[in-house]
Amino acid sequence: QLEQELVEYFRTQVRQDPEVPSAVAAIRTLLEFLKRDQTGETILGLRENLTQTIRRLEEADSSVAVSSGGELFLRFISLTSLEHPDLSQCKKVMVERGELFLKKISLSRSKVAKLCHTFIKDGAKILTHSSSRVVLKVLESAAADKKRFTVYVTESQPDSAGQMADKLQNLNIPVTVVLDAAVGYIMEKVDLVIVGAEGVVESGGIINKIGTYQLAVCSKAHNKPFYVVAESFKFVRLYPLNQQDVPERFKYKADTLKAVEDLAEEHPMIDYTPPSLITLLFTDLGVLTPSAVSDELIKLYL
Amino acid sequence: MGQLVNSDNRMPGADKEADLTERIEAFLADLKRGGCGTGPIRGSGETARETTALLRKVTAQARWSSAGDLMEIIRKEGRRMTAAQPSETTVGNMVLRVLKIIREEYARSRGSSEETDQQESLHKLLTSGGLSEENFRQHFVHLKANVIEAINELLTELDGTTDNIAMQALEHIHSNEVIMTVGRSRTVEAFLKDAARKRKFHVIVAECAPFCQGHEMATNLSKASIETTVIADAAIFAVMSRVNKVIIGTQTVLANGGLRAVNGTHTVALAARHHSTPLIVCAPMFKLSPQFPNEEDTFHKFVSPHEVLPFTEGEILSKVNVHCPVFDYVPPELITLFISNIGGNAPSYIYRLMSELYHPEDHDL
């Protein structure tokens, strides 16, 4: 019924525009749900239906971004409903503000790129991990600023993100693909490391494609700056203390979670990088030190 | 200086404005001259005070009808002043403080609640109903008086900074301790002198070649009857094992908690880290700058290398490259504590202090 339609809507969004962040697609889907939902009579009922829908979306795409986008939307509903206790009035305001919110966050990637590209100097050698659209945007702006630099991209198994190398070649940036195992070998040559993030946790650490933690430890050992670029809607209310603390539903792809019985046999797709290894985070809220992230989250959720 | 020229040609008015223009030109000339290695002609505290006083005069005398106009004028003057001597960041910092004051006074006049929700935040993204562009165009009668009063408060704060920092000395310095410092810092001098009134301790001053400002520091300290030893920079690591604390001043505190300090400070910081000696930085709030250490071309300042290798060594000169940098970058991991006029803070807290002092939209003048 409605939930099926919405999951389809979400999938079409992602298919049609591969550039759209999954959190934005999730929020757009939830907004669509708001517009179409006729059954809700109370705000509590609305929240319950939304939570259900978010759960279905997470089953379709288990990335952290969808979860953080969903939580943000729920928070958005709570905040708006505090101001307008009447449901129909509330819905109208929500839809309006939702559209506005979507418009603002579609600009986040460019804001991040604008902040970050000044940190890339002429002649720099950059190491990045897997395929991240935000990092691509940053490198694009740096190239547009007439800076000359070379990029090393890790192969990033198990789903080799070779597309990053192709896209960079199209921008005329010299790029080399290195093995995941060669990160320690190449680290002495690079000047800085820039990675994206699927989620930014409360401690200021990040959750990203498996192999990021390794990269961070190596760069710390070689004293190279480790920069993270992420939009603000990726901030999530988790506080993992180690790799085991990251919830299982994020670690594996959605199909794996449904199909496989014993997850111990599966390879996790993401890992957690603690804040002590991160130099700076570039977000659309500004350039943050890892200790500033929890401040931002508190401002939202308190 | 178009706005400041009075077209009516009333004598006292024209006199005042000519006086203001003169003062600004003299200030800029002083800033430009202060580019030699021994440091600016006056300490950074005086530079901050002079900048704020000048900005107050500009506010009082320039013609403006709304906060937006005033901010434009201040920004223009600020750009001129920072262009005269980019390494003297206190000038830029004071301009940013004044801009923040104007924004606050404007918000207060408008009656909007004093919530410091000026920064971008997730909360703001979610709840704001419309792309509200604050254009500061409304006119308020008392805005001028309020802004000038707030700037006066800022000046009073600036006057008291060194004393406020020195007052905290007794909490950090204990009897019979060995303290190390580098070069010459007026703040650290006051800090140590204040502690010396009640405690007996020993100070080791690294001379900080090639300008050897450490010598002057040592003389001043010994005049206050503090036992002082001067050492060469090469001896810093050797002596560090006997040192209990390292207390230094700095030229600028950067937005990530790092320092831009006199060259030689990074050496001291690394030696202190190796021996697990706490590194305390005494820096007043006006030295806090929203810059990050990424712009290499504007970060460093080089002066005449004749202090390193004098021109008399003509034969060697043609065969070698000689550099004389003035500043060092010290990363925030090496610093234990910042002591400022508002108390002690950890380097990881600097981002919070910055958001209270400056508005993010002003970061690029």
Is it the case that residue B123 has pLDDT exceeding 80?
Answer: no
Indicate the residue of B122, B129, B294 with minimum beta-carbon distance to A235. Answer: B122
Give the residue numbers in B contacting A (CB under 8 Å), as ranges: 119-123, 125-131, 255-257, 292, 294-296, 348-352, 360
User: Is ipTM > 0.90 here?
Assistant: no
* Count of Cβ atoms closer than 10 Å to residue A20 Cβ: 14
Among chain A residues, the shortest Cα distance to B348 is held by A291
Indicate the residue of A80, A104, A118 with minimum beta-carbon distance to B294. Answer: A118
pTM value is 0.86
Indicate the residue of B122, B257, B348 with minimum beta-carbon distance to A232. Answer: B122
Q: What CA–CA distances, in Å, run from A297 to A108, A274, A290? A: 17, 17, 12
Tell me the pLDDT tens digit for each residue of B183-193: 999 999 999 99
Taking an 8 Å cut-off on Cβ atoms, the answer to whether A291 and B130 are in contact is no
Are B271 and B239 contacting, i.e. CB atoms less than 8 angstroms apart?
A: no
Are B261 and B315 contacting, i.e. CB atoms less than 8 angstroms apart?
A: no
Q: Residues of A with CB below 8 A from B128's CB?
A: 100
Q: Residues of B with CB below 8 A from A79's CB?
A: 123, 126-127
Pairs of residues, one from chain A and one from chain B, whose beta carbons lie less than 8 Å apart: 68
**Secondary structure class of B251 (helix, strand, coil):** coil
Tokens 């820039």, residue located: A194
A146: left (phi over 0), alpha (psi -120 to 50) or beta: left
Q: Residues of A with CB below 8 A from B354's CB?
A: none
- Annotate B148-169 with DSSP letters as a single string: HHHHHHHHHHHHHHHHHHHHTH
**How high does pLDDT run on average in chain B?**
84
User: What is the C-alpha to C-alpha distance for residues B133 and A80, in angstroms, rounded to an integer?
Assistant: 21
Are B354 and B255 contacting, i.e. CB atoms less than 8 angstroms apart?
A: yes
**Mean pLDDT within B209-223:** 92
- Top mean-pLDDT range of A280-284, B141-145, B293-297: A280-284
Q: Which of B295, B308, B280 is nearest to B89 (CA)?
A: B295
State the smallest CA–CA distance between residue A26 and chain B in angstroms.
Answer: 16
Among chain B residues, the shortest Cα distance to A119 is held by B294
Q: Of how many residues is chain A composed?
A: 302
Are B106 and B71 contacting, i.e. CB atoms less than 8 angstroms apart?
A: no
Q: Residues of B with CB below 8 A from A101's CB?
A: 125-126
**Mean pLDDT within B82-105:** 88
Among chain A residues, the shortest Cα distance to B294 is held by A119
**pLDDT tens, chain A, 302 aa long:** 777 888 888 888 888 887 888 888 888 888 888 887 776 677 788 888 888 888 888 887 777 888 888 888 888 777 777 777 777 777 788 888 888 888 888 888 888 998 888 889 889 999 999 888 889 999 999 999 898 999 999 988 877 666 788 888 898 999 999 999 999 999 999 999 999 998 999 899 999 999 999 999 999 999 999 999 998 888 888 899 999 999 888 888 777 777 777 777 788 888 999 999 999 999 988 888 888 888 877 777 76
Cis peptide before B347 (omega within 30 of 0): no
Tell me the pLDDT tens digit for each residue of B271-285: 999 999 999 999 999
Q: Residues of B with CB below 8 A from A292's CB?
A: 351-352
What confidence score (pLDDT) does residue A227 get? 95
Band (B114; pLDDT cuts 50, 70, 90): very low
- Annotate B8-64 with DSSP letters as a single string: T--HHHHHHHHHHHHHHHHHHHHHHHTTSTT--SS-HHHHHHHHHHHHHHHHHHS--
User: What is the C-alpha to C-alpha distance for residues A70 and A55, in angstroms, rounded to an integer?
Assistant: 9
Q: How far apart are the first and last CA of chain A?
A: 35
Side-chain-side CA neighbours of residue A96 (13 Å)? 12
Best to test chain B binding among A74, A80, A94, A100 (most B CBs inside 10 Å): A100
State the smallest CA–CA distance between residue A181 and chain B in angstroms.
Answer: 29
Can you list the positions of beta strands (E) in chain A? Answer: 124-128, 149-154, 175-178, 192-195, 199-200, 206-209, 226-229, 270-273, 280-283, 286-288
Q: What CA–CA distances, in Å, run from A170 to A103, A140, A150? A: 28, 10, 14
Can you list the positions of beta strands (E) in chain B? Answer: 178-182, 202-206, 227-231, 245-248, 252-253, 259-262, 279-282, 327-330, 337-340, 343-345
Taking an 8 Å cut-off on Cβ atoms, the answer to whether B125 and A80 are in contact is no
Taking an 8 Å cut-off on Cβ atoms, the answer to whether B294 and A119 are in contact is yes
State the smallest CA–CA distance between residue A300 and chain B in angstroms.
Answer: 5
